[in-house]
Chains A and B, each alone.
Chain A
Amino acid sequence: MKAQLLEYTLRLGDNALILGQRLGEWCGHGPILEQDIALSNIALDQLGQARMLMQYAAEQKGGDFTEDKVAFLRPETEYHNCLLVELENGDWGRTIVRQFLFDTYNYFFYSALLSSADNRLQEIAQKAIKEITYHAQWSAEWLIRLGDGTEESHQRVQRSLNDLWEWTGELFSMDAVDEALLAEGIAVNLAEIKVQWDQKVNEILSLATLKRPEDAWMQSGGKQGEHSEYLGYVLAVMQHLPRMYPEATW
């Protein structure tokens, strides 16, 4: 039970941490100043949520574990984020598609986590859901703008949507950790939020004049620590400083 709760906490924390790191790559490179700032703010929210979860994970690990050690000193196979968040940013359209698919999932996930039997996760959800609501609105609006925009923007986001679709299956696949914690009332029932996700995604795709890809082969493994080739590069950048200068403060 304890080991499962820790892994569950890390899954949520790593989703937020790795996505925050990916979005941070846009800082100074956004298409216009306002949207550069918007994405940096979303990255910052993700990082803040990651901190709350890493602090909780560090307390569960006990000993001299700190949030920083949990965040920065684990090897790749001990990260439990879903694969979608570690994928490359690509162009602005691809970043928006990834963000929309994830934000919509995250919105329903954290809405459900508000009634978790685990007090701490419930408290974190109360804090996070307010921010995630703004993220989900922002990325849906951008998807509509790009999908229903010019021929070029439409083609690009449709292509990204087709490419990214196979990475969405993992968001809803329950494994032993999910099942065990669901039985305790702690975890979110992913089958339930899949229905809500489908509905919202279909609604926004239709407004964006985009075609929903067919469900086919889906990637999986991130939650269990088996990652794509991209995570190593993300971690190399993210962990470089804390590994080179372990006790650095500023």
Chain B
Amino acid sequence: MVKDEKPSNKIRSNYFGLTFNSPIILLSGCVGFGDEYTRVDGYSNSDVGGICLKGTTLDERLGNNAQRIYETSDGMINAIGLQNPGADYVIDNILPSLNFNETNFIANISGASVDEYVAIVKKFDNSNINALEINISCPNVKEGGVHFGNDYEMTSKIVSECRKNTKKPLIIKLSPNQSNIGMSAQKCIDAGADGLSVINTISAMSIDIKSRKPVLDNINGGLSGPAIKPIALLKVFEAYQISKKYNIPIIGQGGIINYKDAIEFILAGASLVGLGTAMFYDPLICPKINDELVKYIEFNEIKNIKDLIGNLN
């Protein structure tokens, strides 16, 4: 269902030359390749500022064996293992079916080597995608992923090589599984990043005490949802201490399920806010959060949501 009415301009903002009608970004891996939620009556992609597509690799990946997800206290662990049909398929078959008038679409790119990242970036650079998010923080694959994100030298290399090969906005998705996220942010910015996504899921596991086996076939997975919010918030705050010097926007994420969470992330330094796990709970949550954000802004007599970014007393 396409709604005529766009969210209020009080929550509209511009970054990387793109207009975001709402600060809400739907997060990679939670909303398929951009139109899965349109199955839900009342849902519209135009209620969000952007949608990150599922992590895409050069070649098709089957992903991990079941069981892939597990509910934990106030969160969930997933080990999908980057199931995706490969970059060519996404570009040739999926992008043409998306309605780019409704929102911005952001590709999420994963590789097992610098060469793979570069090859995918080149492919998307020739497409109509609005921006690229480089995932150097996936906890669920054996090669690359989070290991790259924890290695500053590797981080610099991936970002600078990707930068050389695209003019599209380049957002780097950082891992919380590192002690100095500020340093990581600095390396990304120095190497040419236009934005940062903070944070990806946190490495975690669950054990079934009856079978005495790990619940997930992959053993480890990524923890998401409200359980990780306080950690995510601090990581955004820390990354912002660096990014604000360069005016680099942050997509704050990790456990946001209502407008209060969103405001907290914005106050910690996020320009845009990501929702993933919350969509599983309530697929119609975005317009509700938009409305509440507008109310909050009006009540506090603020002109635009941008004025709240990092605006802690």
Specify whether A and B are partners.
Answer: no
